[in-house]
Structure 1
Amino acid sequence: MNGQTICFHEFGEPQDVLAVEQRVVTPLEPDEILVEMIARPINPSDLIPIRGAYRHRISLPCIPGYEGVGSVIDIGIRVQKSMLGKRVLPLRGEGTWQQYVKTSSSLSIEVPNSITDDEASRSYINPLTAWIICKELLKRSNNSFLLVNACSSAIGRIFAQLSVVFGYRLIAVVRSSEYTQELLQLGAWHVINCSQSEVYKTVMDITMGQGVNSAIDSIGGREGYDLALTVRRGGLFLSIGLLSGLQVDWKRIAIELNIQSKIFHLRQWIQCISVHDWQNSFLQIFALLRQKQLYLGNVEARYNLNEITKAVQIAERLGRQGKLLLT
């Protein structure tokens, strides 16, 4: 059996190096399942590796895509027959930007009937990252201050919502006032438009000079360092992304600031947990979605796999009103 696959054979701009190919589906291992994909989002985390940011751990040719949802159409000899026809997230196996995806049955995540395909397809990278950080890494006290930059992003909106769940007072940093009202409605305690106000001064004003307990940086570079400046003594500065393409000055932070600082990589967390904890984390995410405590935002448009060039170009346009899905 052949399946349609998106692949890149060299690093470069996604619209230049991604190609649609036909791929032979090889036989399943005894504990594997074969999933026919329904939908997969286009995330920044999918596009960054294509440009070569992690070339030291990526083998070419490579099939991109970290998340998505599909239906089980075949199983290995050790997999229970009841898996056939189930909707699952086929994670930690092959890239999801293809028609058929193989993965381990124990690592796939069964999707409850109450969760839509659109929700399920986006319930891994951003929701799980934000959930783990809020639950396991941030220090909580009564009304802890949490500062998050690039907060108009998909994961920023999730942090705003989880701040309500976990009891943080979230200060959101954005570059445009058009996102202020939405973030406040989602759960942000205060919104700073950094194009109009200095982040450090504003944070010190609204925290009565104490600074924040924790700060989460998705940008890096100078903006990341400015975020670290606002963290109170002994607090936590956490880097989760590099939208600027520049690292923060870790040496300067270590020398000048008396705070904890670290990088969070979801893949490293995954390598250290049991299958039980892996599965249980998604039960928590699905519960939040079911209880309407978590909303993943709009889907702006859907594209077929053979429209990948157009899809990735549109995915990186400013001012989009929702996520793009490959269907």
Structure 2
Amino acid sequence: MDNTALCYRQFGEPESVLQRETAVKAPLQPDMLRVQMLLSPVNASDLIPITGAYRHRITLPAIAGYEGVGRVIAAPVGFTHLLGQRVLPLRGEGTWQQYVDCPAALAIPVPDTIDTLLAARAFINPLAAWLMLNLWPVEGKRVLLTAAGSDCAILLGQWALRRGATEVYGIHRSAIHADRLRAMGIIPIAQQESDSVRAIAAASDVVFDATGGELAQTILSAMRNSAAFICYGLLSGQPFSLQRHFPPMHWFHIRNHFDALSPQRWQTAFTEIWPLLAGSHYSDARLLPFSAWQTALADYRQAGRDHKPLLDFTCDTP
């Protein structure tokens, strides 16, 4: 079986180092599923590792992509009931390829009620939001989000309100996000309105930050010592320095929590996430053929983007 994948053999900007490569797929190993991919999104978490930011845990050559949805075409004994079913082939190989092998016990079956476009984006951002709200409860608290138009932030905001947050504020860079945030119950704050940002930061109990850089520094300098600041991304590409008078600061990396999730707990997490996700606002999706991956990356980098580009493998599968 021939398999086409987006590979990188050195670290660098994804547009420069990614290449489509076709090779014979290795035989399926015991206890593994083989999944024919349908859709896979483009996320920051897909692109940042390609640059070499996490080179200490990546062995080259590597296949890009961390999430997506596909259909099971081969399964070991005990999992044959999954043949023909849609699953999330997680924690195995890179997902930007036509065929993905993943541990059978960790593949997440997709309920029939969940649309394929939604299922393709049900891992990185939903699981991160779910884990963070479990780790830092928000009931009775005022919550502040940065990069509020991003997929993870809009889920954090909606689910925080469901969990009893008194108010959720969302800092956004592009005005295109303001109306969307209001419709979700999130109070929009323009990032360039520095006085408003400082005032809300000073009154917030929990901050979930995805940007880092100058904005994180501004928020931290205004926060009370009794508040909590959780950094789960550096979309600005800029670090920030901590000072003694700042409130407690916590780093969240989703990968650090995988080992604590047994296969049973892993499956249970998604039984909780599916209904939450189905009942939430999420960004629109834009499908682009797998062969047009460069266009998908350019689309992802558009300022003020209000949709998620997805690689569509059904256009390329022989």
Is the pair's TM-score, using the shorter chain for normalization, greater than 0.5? yes
What is the match of residue 251 of structure 2?
263
1:29 aligns with 2:29: yes
Hey, what's the Cα distance between the residues in 2 that align with 1:296 and 1:203? 25
> Which residue is equivalent to 1:75?
75
1:1-327 paired onto structure 2 within 5 Å: 1-76=1-76, 78-134=77-133, 136-142=134-140, 144-168=141-165, 169-188=167-186, 190-203=187-200, 211-250=203-242, 252=243, 255-257=244-246, 259-290=247-278, 292=279, 294-300=280-286, 302-327=287-312
Distance 1:321 1:148, change over 3 A: closer
Pairwise CA distance, 1:140: 3.3
Measured against aligned partners, the alpha-carbon deviations of 1:214-260 in whole angstroms (never above 9, x if no partner) come to 1111111221122223433232111100112122213x1xx112x22
| Structure 2: distance between partners of 1:75 and 1:39 | 20
Q: CA RMSD for the aligned pairs?
A: 1.6
What is the alpha-carbon distance in structure 2 between the residues aligned to residue 199 and residue 270 of structure 1? 37
Q: 1:183 to 1:25 in 2, by over 3 A?
A: same
Judged with a 3 Å threshold, the aligned counterparts in structure 2 of structure 1 residues 176 and 326 are, in CA distance, closer, same or farther, namely closer
For residue 29 of structure 2, what is the amino acid of its counterpart?
E
TM-score by length of 2: 0.93
Query: Contact 1:15–1:310 (CA<8 Å) still a contact in 2?
Result: no
Tell me which amino acid in the other structure corresponds to 1:151.
A
Q: Give a deviation string over 1:271-302, Cα, whole Å, max 9, x none.
A: 21221211111111111133x2x1322013x2
- The list of structure 1 runs, each at least 4 consecutive aligned residues, that deviate by more than 3 angstroms after superposition, is none
The CA deviation at 1:149 is 0.8
Farther off after superposition, 262-271 or 156-165? 156-165
2:64 counterpart SS class: coil
Identity %: 35
- Cα offset for 1:137? 1.9
Give the distance between the partners of 1:139 and 1:154, measured in 2 at CA. 20
Matches of 2:124 and 2:215 in 1, distance apart? 23
Unpaired runs of at least 5, structure 1: 205-209
Task: Write out per-residue CA displacement over residues 45-73 of structure 1, whole angstroms, 9 at most, x where no aligned residue.
Answer: 11111111111211111101110000000
CA gap 1:84/1:152 in 2 versus in 1, 3 angstroms: same
Q: When the two structures are aligned, how many residues end up with a matched partner?
A: 311
1:292-327 per-position Cα deviation (integer Å, ceiling 9, x unaligned): 2x1322013x22222222221222121323111111
Change (3 A) 1:24 1:320: same
Alignment partners' CA distance in 1, 2:225 and 2:296? 45
Give the residue type in structure 2 aligned to 1:243: L
Do the aligned residues in 1 keep the contact of 2:203 with 2:223 (CA within 8 Å)?
A: yes
The TM-score with structure 1 as length reference comes to 0.90
2:138 touches 2:160 (CA, 8 Å); kept in 1? no
In 1, Cα distance between equivalents of 2:269 and 2:250: 22
Q: How far apart in 2 are the matches of 1:173 and 1:244? A: 14
Aligned to 2:316: none
Query: Does the CA-based 8 Å contact 2:37-2:98 persist in structure 1?
Result: yes
CA distance in 2, matches of 1:178, 1:88: 33
Stretches of structure 2 lacking an aligned partner (at least 5 in a row): 313-318
